[in-house]
Structure 1
Amino acid sequence: MFKKISVIFVVISAAISSWLVIHLLAISGVFLALASPIWWLLFPKKSVCLLCRAEKDGKWCWLCREKIVKSEGTTPKSLFSSVLNGFLILFFTIISLLLVYSEGRLLSYLGFPPVSKTASFIIPTKGQYLLGEVFPVKIEVTGIKTAVNTIQADLGFDPRVVEVTQVSTEGSFANIFIQKVINNNEGYVRLTGGLPNPGFSQLQGTFATVYFRGKTPGPVKIKFLPTSLVLANDGLGTDVLKDLASVSYLILPESVPVSQTPISDEPEESTTLKPTTLGEETGSTQMIFYEENVLGKSIKSQFKQNDQEVRLSIFLDGLKQFDNFILNLWGKAIGTVK
C-alpha cells in the first residue's frame, strides 16, 4: 500500500515539475538561449553544457565534439559549443511554447475560461388590464457581454386567467425562427430563434412581443421557465442566461367595450404539447386578489455551482489566463521586432 502511494506521489510530483519547467522555459527560454554564449565568455568555468551534464561519463558530446569526462567538468569546451547549447535551449523553448499553445486550445475546447452568465430576460414589471383586453408583454434580453446567436424563451402562465393571442417577432434582433408554440390549455408559450455568425453583441435587444388577453379577473403570474436559453456564439453553445424573471399582472373585473377590443388580423394557431414537454409545472398562482404586493417583478437564479465545481473552474480559468499571458507576451514581442 505504501509503495503504491509512493509511486502516485512520484508521478504527481513529476507532472507538476514538468508543467513548471515547460511554462518557465516558455517565458524565459529565449533569454537563456541568447545568454548562453555571453555567460560562457564572462564566466567560462561556471557555464554548463546540457549534453555533458545529461549523458554518462565516456559518452560522446556532439555539442563539445569530444568524449565526456566529468572529472574535468561539464562546461562547454568552446564558444561554438556554448552557441550550440543556446540553440538547444531555443529548441526546447519552441517545444514548450507549442505545448502551452496546445494546452490553451484544449482548455478553450473544454470551455475554459467559461463564458460568464450575464444575460437576463426582462419584461414589463407591472400592469393592470381590463377583462378581455389584449395587452403586450415585450421580451427583451439584457446584460449581453458575449455575442449570442440562439434564444429560447419559454413562458408559463395560468391559462384560467389569461390566454395568448399572438407572438410577434416584429422589431426582433433575431432573423431566424425555428419554433413558435402556443398552448393555451397548459399555459405555455415558446419562441426559439436566433441569427447567424457573428451573432448579436449589443448590450440589450428586443426578442419578441407576446400578446395576452384577460379571461377571468384576478392576479396572474407570467414567468420564464428553466428551459429558457440564451446561447453564446462561442462555438460551444454555452448558455449565458443568468436568471429567470417572473412578473405579476392584475386582470380587473371591468370588461373592455366590444368596440375597443383589439382583434388580431392573423390569429396564431395553438399547438398542444404533451405535459412532459413543459419545462416547469404551471399551476395556478397562490397570490390573494388585491393583495398589496400582487403586482411586480421577481427574479430567481437557477444556476448555482457547488464549491468543488467553483474551485475547479477557478483553477482552470487561472491556467488558461496564464497560457494567454505567455502567448500574448511573445506575440507582442514579435510584433515589436517587426
Structure 2
Amino acid sequence: MSNKSANFSPEWIEWESKVGIRPLLSGDAYNMRAQFEGLRQLLQSQWGEPDSGVSSTDVVTDKGIQARVYSPTASAGKKVPMGVFYHCGGYCIGSIEAEDVLVRNLCLRSQTVIISIEYRLAPEHTAPTALQDCCDATLWAIQNADKFGADCSQVYTIGPSAGAALAVSVFLKLYDGGFKNSIKGIVSMSPCWIHPDNLGEYKDQHKSFINSVGNLPVIDANSMRNFYDTYKSPLDDKYTFALGYPDLSVLPRLYLVGAELDPLRDDAVIFDKKLSDAGVDHKLKMYLGLPHVFWLFPLKASLEFFDDTAKGISYVLEK
C-alpha cells in the first residue's frame, strides 16, 4: 500500500485539527533539535502530570554517560526484569526528557525497571559514538542491576526509531564482543535500517519512502537522509545497518513494531522477513493509519500501544 492510498486514523486527523499543525522535522540537526524540543513541550503540556506509580532517579554511569532509572513503586523490594532504553532522534536529536512519558508508561505497565540512556549525538559526536555509549551504558546497567532492584538475568533492550536500531545493534555489538548471554530479549519500535539513497537489494521491497516527502507527519525521506548523513556511519556498517549483519540468527526473541504511515514502515516489514528467514522467534505489530512515533502524542492509540508493548516486553522475556 502506498503512503498516498492509506488514510490517517480519525483520531490523528482530530489531533492535527486541534493543534492546527502537521509536525515535520526538517533542515539540519540544529533546526530539527529546536523543532523537536518545541513539539516535546507541546506534547508534555497535553499529557499532564506523570503517574505516581513510577519513581525516577537521574544517574551517571562509570563512563560519564547521563541516564535516568525508572522503577515501578508497586514492585519495591522485589527483583524485577530490567530494560535498557535508547531514545529516538536519528542519532542527532532527542533526549531522555523527550521520552519520559513513554518510558514511565512502559515501566508502569510492564512492572520492570527501565534505564534510559542519554547517549551523545551527531554532529558533535558522529558514528559510532551513539552505539559505543549505549553498549557501555548497557554493560554498566547489567553490572549494577542489583542496585536498581533488577534481575541481571532478565535484561532486555528497547527503543524507538534510531533507538530501535540501537536496541538490536547493542545486542549484536556485545555479542561480537563476547557478551553472548547478557541480553534476553529486544523490543524494537519502528527501527531505521535503510538509507533513502541506498535501497540496494531492497529497492523492490521498500516503498514507504516513496511519496513520503510533503505527505507524512513527523519525518519523511529527507529527514532520514539528513539524520544518516549527519551521523556519518558507513553504509556497509553491520551495526548501524544491521540488515546486513552476516548472521541474524544469533538474535534473541524480539518484539517488533511498525506504523503504516511511517517512512520507516518497510524497514520493519523487511526486518520481519529477515528475522523469519533467520529463524528468530519474534512478533510484528503494525499500527494502521498512524505515523512515526505516534505514541509520543496523547492519543487513545498511544494508550493501546503502551499496553501492547508491555505485553511485548513480557513476550521477549518468556523464553
- TM-score between the two structures when normalised by the length of structure 2: 0.24
- TM-score between the two structures when normalised by the length of structure 1: 0.23
Structure number with greater Rg is 1
> Whose strand fraction is larger, Structure 1's or Structure 2's?
1
